[in-house]
Amino acid sequence: MKTYRKELWFNTPQRYAILNITGQVESALKESGILEGLILVNAMHITASVFINDDEDGLHKDYLAWLEGLAPHEPTGNYFHNLTGEDNADAHLKRQVMGREVVVAVTNGKLDFGPWEQIFYGEFDGRRLKRVLVKIIGE
Amino acid sequence: MKTYRKELWFNTPQRYAILNITGQVESALKESGILEGLILVNAMHITASVFINDDEDGLHKDYLAWLEGLAPHEPTGNYFHNLTGEDNADAHLKRQVMGREVVVAVTNGKLDFGPWEQIFYGEFDGRRLKRVLVKIIGE
Amino acid sequence: MKTYRKELWFNTPQRYAILNITGQVESALKESGILEGLILVNAMHITASVFINDDEDGLHKDYLAWLEGLAPHEPTGNYFHNLTGEDNADAHLKRQVMGREVVVAVTNGKLDFGPWEQIFYGEFDGRRLKRVLVKIIGE
């Protein structure tokens, strides 16, 4: 069994952002030399998400507007968490809807994806350096 | 280490449907000959879900009604994604609530489940052929 | 390849509770002797969740209030599932938002976590014995 580990770093200029990271995950997979197995891609921060969906700008706008409706940023005083001095309680909630991680099959050295699957980093409290972990196991 | 891969195909007559696929996943596990490891079951399409919950018809109706409240299909013009000519933006949102994939432990050649756990395919934009991927690693 | 399996048992006095189980998962990892691989931690019950977020009491109150808004317990008669005699339909919905499971990388014998990541058991229908499964694969 082989394992491979890589961190990806992000610093989005906006509080909220959705970034396609499929190419970076594919690069990590190539570096690993692993042909068959599983790849885990997870946010290492609890106000961010890694998820799989469509690379379509309109949909990304829909996601951010929808999440804002489900867990509004304002009024920040409505969240107990923000009594700690933070203003990002909404980000902790939004990330639960979108998920922390994805696990993807590796087959013949490639991400074993359907026709439109792409991997995204969902940032809900940006403007600082944050990390995504890629861990691959297989052979 | 052994790996096994299988695709399951579905074509639901309705736009929205919830199908119990536990038996098909168990068949794939038996075919693999793997006794200890992990099994990944994921939708290969971004408007569908694989999730684990209860095989109870009333609950499935509750899920579909609840998801329709969280991310309504109509009015389709309320979603930027539908400007592309699609009418399935709601399906991309619903699938994020229910999740893309499940990872299940394999122990003694069986799905290592609690008393009521069953695996479901959640279809939110059906009426065409779509796939689920089963990938098993272990030995 | 090595595998290791352990069950964690919980019986919360309240219907709703969030418990930090990171220490128990770390103990299981140490017992396994596995240094590199993946660890799956999942609720074995369909009205509970395992998720990763912040160990902050105010945030946990926010989660429970937010989930109650998204999927209210009352009126119980509003859910088809409760026609079976159950009153926990809301718990099946809440658990889908928070997720069934987490998959965590194991690196150098440790949970490969970002600075604030902790693992929680989310109980949405407590007051009885329920289980979490820990399954580790690697070497």
Helix H or strand E segment including B110: strand B110-111
Cα–Cα distance, C42 to C27 (Å, whole number) = 16
Residue type present at position A56: E
Tens of pLDDT, residue by residue, chain B (139 residues):
999 999 999 999 999 999 999 999 999 999 999 999 999 999 999 999 999 999 999 999 999 999 999 999 999 999 999 999 999 999 999 999 999 999 999 999 999 999 999 999 999 999 999 999 999 999 9
In this predicted structure, what is the pLDDT of residue A71?
Answer: 98
Q: Residues A115-139, buried b or exposed e (16+ Cβ, 10 A)?
A: eebbbbbbbbbbeeebbbbbbbbbb
In this predicted structure, what is the pLDDT of residue A107?
Answer: 98
> pLDDT of A1-47, one tens digit each?
999 999 999 999 999 999 999 999 999 999 999 999 999 999 999 99
Cβ atoms of A102 and C102 closer than 8 Å:
no
- Nearest 10 degrees: Cα torsion B103, B107, B109, B113: -60
- Nearest 10 degrees: Cα torsion B117, B118, B124, B129: 160
Token output for A131: 């990390």
Quickly state the pLDDT bin for A75 (edges 50, 70, 90): very high
Residues facing B8 on adjacent strands: B132
Q: Dihedrals φ, ψ of A21, to 5°?
A: -115, 15
How much is the average pLDDT of A77-95? Answer: 98
Neighbours of C32 (CB within 10 A): 22
> pLDDT of C12-54, one tens digit each?
999 999 999 999 999 999 999 999 999 999 999 999 999 999 9
Answer whether C103 sits within 8 Å of A70, measured CB to CB.
Answer: no
Q: Choose the mutation target among C108, C112, C116 for the interface with A, i.e. most A CBs under 10 Å.
A: C112
B61 vs C38, C40, C80: nearest CB: C80
In this predicted structure, what is the pLDDT of residue B52?
Answer: 98
Angstrom distances, CA of residue A19 to CA of A55, A126, B118, B130: 9, 12, 33, 26
The answer to ipTM > 0.95 is yes
Token output for B78: 């309320």
In this predicted structure, what is the pLDDT of residue C87?
Answer: 97
A9: closest CA of chain B, how far (Å) = 24
Cα–Cα distance, C48 to B44 (Å, whole number) = 26
In this predicted structure, what is the pLDDT of residue B118?
Answer: 98
In this predicted structure, what is the pLDDT of residue C86?
Answer: 96
Show residues of chain B in contact with A115, CB under 8 Å: 44-45
Sign of the dihedral through C-alpha C104, C112, A121, C17: positive
How much is the average pLDDT of A55-60? Answer: 98
Q: CB under 8 Å to A131, separation ≥6 — which residues? A: A7, A8, A9, A10, A43, A44, A45, C114
- By residue count, chain A amounts to 139
Q: Choose the mutation target among C8, C10, C32, C42 for the interface with B, i.e. most B CBs under 10 Å.
A: C42
Answer whether B92 sits within 8 Å of A54, measured CB to CB.
Answer: yes
- In 3D space, the residue among C39, C49, C56, C36 whose CA is nearest the CA of residue C4 turns out to be C39
Could you tell me which residues of chain A have a Cβ less than 8 Å from any Cβ in chain B?
1, 36-38, 51-54, 56-59, 61-63, 66, 70, 97-99, 102-105, 107, 112-117, 137-139
In this predicted structure, what is the pLDDT of residue B26?
Answer: 98
Q: Residues B56-78, buried b or exposed e (16+ Cβ, 10 A)?
A: bebbbebbbebbeebbebeeeee
Neighbours of B92 (CB within 10 A): 23
Neighbours of A108 (CB within 10 A): 8
Q: How far apart are the first and last CA of chain B?
A: 5
In this predicted structure, what is the pLDDT of residue B126?
Answer: 98
Neighbours of B105 (CB within 10 A): 25
- By residue count, chain B amounts to 139
Q: Mean of the per-residue pLDDT values for chain C?
A: 98
Angstrom distances, CA of residue C68 to CA of B92, C16, C65, C94: 23, 10, 5, 8
- Nearest 10 degrees: Cα torsion A57, A58, A64, A67: -130
